[in-house]
Structure 1
């Protein structure tokens, strides 16, 4: 590990998910990032499939020692709704990952998180790229978590910006709005440096991946890479890239590109969770603005809508730092350099 790069210890909660998969692979590529544990929340797919995806990805990325646990099996109050149209039946598009050797950790994800935070107070950053179900349950069990954690980064919500699930709601917040409301309430009035950093849709949709980014990643990995996810090839075509990590990511991202094109957004992929991972790892530039966040839980048409009071009109304490500026070109340079270097080091090994 380079001496000039600080170590970052991360507890990741995700619902893997194509963009979660890119985020997880990226974190594995950073030598200064310690992944303490990965908890699996139901969302894009059910919790068991999320955990299998996480185990397989960690092994693919050379990090099989990281424990993967399951917590909640459904949102706090609503039925579970998954997104096969967005991420595929298994959550990873067209990719077919090898079955993992490791098993799911027998501990409940909430217990794993609380034990880790108590053992290492002030050291761990929580990165939340899923519905906030598990984190809400952890806060119920240990209300001191906001003080025990070094920091919290959330991917979720949309503020004065079109939603991607309903006209006003982003997916993670819509999937479990009650959990999101509990999480923001838990941070109300805390010191500014303890408030969660929120990477909302208006920032993460700026992290718009194009096929050229994937081609650049393959070149960085020194990968012989025919049949990458290019728009002029038949839908569903599988990659034959020589480096396994690039091949599987290509098969995931092809599905994601095709999804976005089918919904009129072009042959692109919004890799929301990667940006949040870069924030948690301290590797991307951004700015935030203090706000008081409300999550709507009662109105049927507005369920999951997040509203930010930036001006103090509610006269309520702040509970979030919402990202208001990021730098997509720099973020993609970071992703390509880091992930490509890791993939190149692994070479063409496949099992």
Structure 2
């Protein structure tokens, strides 16, 4: 039995890579997927998750749960079809919604069932997760740990000069989660931008035949990144490496620091994540600190990712 994981995501390309890894790994047991707006609408995200569930024959007990449609800012979400494709999975056009979609409050049942051993991995916007903290603070203490893909600390953002997409889209939700969640690990662009899967890696994964959608979606993803940065050598798999963090503690280098989130609208700084590194400040007991990954072992990542995705052992 693997680590029990409840996955919150917006089912773009990197979410699909993460869920593929989880399906092929013996060390991760996905017990539910909360489908949120983000890369695409919530409706399309649900269709994408259902498509992935069919491709990989997810067990029937894996719950697909409808999440948030809009951020807590009250704005209509902005989608980026040039990054993930019109439907979120590059060139793939999934069928429309089919099958059972669980009510949002099925999350409560999952946490109660797996309390003390459940890890939540939030790879998309944080709106649904923040909603759970608004409604069920006591219940959320039963979650073992939280792994959040988001933020950019002293590195360029990917929406503004300083802000990463998940934090920028709903900074109110981010602030709520970081205020109330315990045992949080943040996996920011500092790490995820360097978790690159090269075309050669993709071709070999495709050749081995265990992950049939990886080549079309990552070829699409790579073409986007290549057009933006001609020097890039592969596709960053932001969400997959966040999922890996939940089972590969020794792959990363961390610091535990207070984190501040900028809420200011209409400004480059909206959604900026700021870690307070001042050594002379004595932080009070009420000042929350969170563990942030600032570096990782790429060779370790390569061996682990390729071993799982191909079924071979890479040393």
TM-score, normalised with respect to structure 1:
0.82
Alignment partners' CA distance in 1, 2:248 and 2:300: 13
State yes or no: 1:49 paired with 2:44: yes
Which of 178, 183, 193 aligns to 1:205? It is: 193
- Aligned residue number for residue 4 of structure 2: 9
Matches within 5 A, 1:34-73: 34-65=29-60, 66-73=62-69
Map of 1:306-325 to 2, 5 A cutoff? 306-311=273-278, 313=281, 315-316=283-284, 317-325=287-295
What corresponds to 1:227 in structure 2?
none
1:225-257 CA-to-partner distances (Å, cap 9, x unmatched) read: xxxxxxxxxxxxxxxxxx6x33x2211111111
Matched, 1:170 2:164: yes
**Residues 203 and 215 in structure 2, CA contact (< 8 A), matched pair in contact too:** no
Is 1:261 matched with 2:226?
A: yes
Q: Is the 8 A contact 1:256 1:269 kept in 2?
A: yes
Bigger Cα displacement from structure 2, 209-218 vs 12-21? 209-218
Q: Choose the corresponding residue for 2:83, options 73, 78, 86.
A: 86
Q: 1:289 aligns with which of 255, 273, 277?
A: 255
CA 1:101–1:76 in structure 2 vs 1: closer, same or farther (change >3 Å)? closer
CA–CA separation in structure 2 for the residues paired with 1:181 and 1:87: 26
TM-fit CA distance, 1:146: 4.2
Distance 1:26 1:283 in 2: 17
State the SS of the aligned residue for 2:26.
Answer: coil
Please state how far the C-alpha of 1:325 moved relative to its aligned partner: 2.2
**Residues 8-36 of structure 1 deviation map (CA, whole Å, 9 limit, x = unaligned):** 00000000110111001101111232211
C-alpha separation in 2, matches of 1:92 and 1:305: 27
Deviates more, 1:38-47 or 1:118-127: 118-127
Aligned: 1:214 with 2:202:
yes
Label 1:34 to 1:41 Cα distance change in 2 as closer, same or farther (>3 A).
same
**What SS does the aligned partner of 1:148 have?**
coil
Unaligned runs of 5+ in 2: none
CA distance in 1, matches of 2:229, 2:9: 27
2:21–2:240 Cα contact (<8 Å) kept: yes
Task: Name the counterpart of 1:22.
Answer: 17
Asked if the contact 1:290–1:310 (Cα under 8 Å) also holds between the matched residues in 2, the reply is: no
Alpha carbons of structure 1 residues 328 and 79: separation in structure 2 relative to 1, 3 Å: same
Measure, in 1, the Cα distance between the counterparts of 2:36 and 2:100: 13
Give me the whole-angstrom Cα distance separating, in 2, the residues matched to 1:180 and 1:273.
17
Report the RMSD for the aligned CA atoms in angstroms.
2.0
| 8 Å Cα contact 1:185/1:319 also seen in 2 | no
- Secondary structure of the corresponding residue to residue 163 of structure 2: coil
Cα displacement (A) at 1:299: 4.6
In the alignment, structure 1 residue 341 sits paired with structure 2 residue 311: yes
Tell me how far apart the structure 2 counterparts of residues 45 and 309 of structure 1 sit (CA, whole Å).
Answer: 33
Counterpart position of 1:272: 238
Alpha-carbon distance in 2 for matches of 1:104, 1:158: 36
- 1:284 Cα shift? 6.1
Alpha-carbon distance between aligned partners in 2 of 1:79 and 1:284, rounded to the nearest angstrom: 39
How does the TM-score come out when normalised to structure 2? 0.90
Q: Deviation per CA, 1:302-332: give whole Å up to 9, x if none.
A: 1111101133648352331001221122212
Structure 1 runs not aligned, ≥5 long: 2-6, 188-193, 224-242, 343-351
Residue 132 (str. 1) matches residue 98 (str. 2): no
SS in 1 for 2:68: coil
- Separation in 1, partners of 2:308, 2:117: 24
TM-superposition CA deviations, 1:155-213 (whole Å, max 9, x none): 000011110110000011011111101111113xxxxxx42111000111110121011
Contact 2:263–2:270 (CA under 8 A) maintained in structure 1: yes
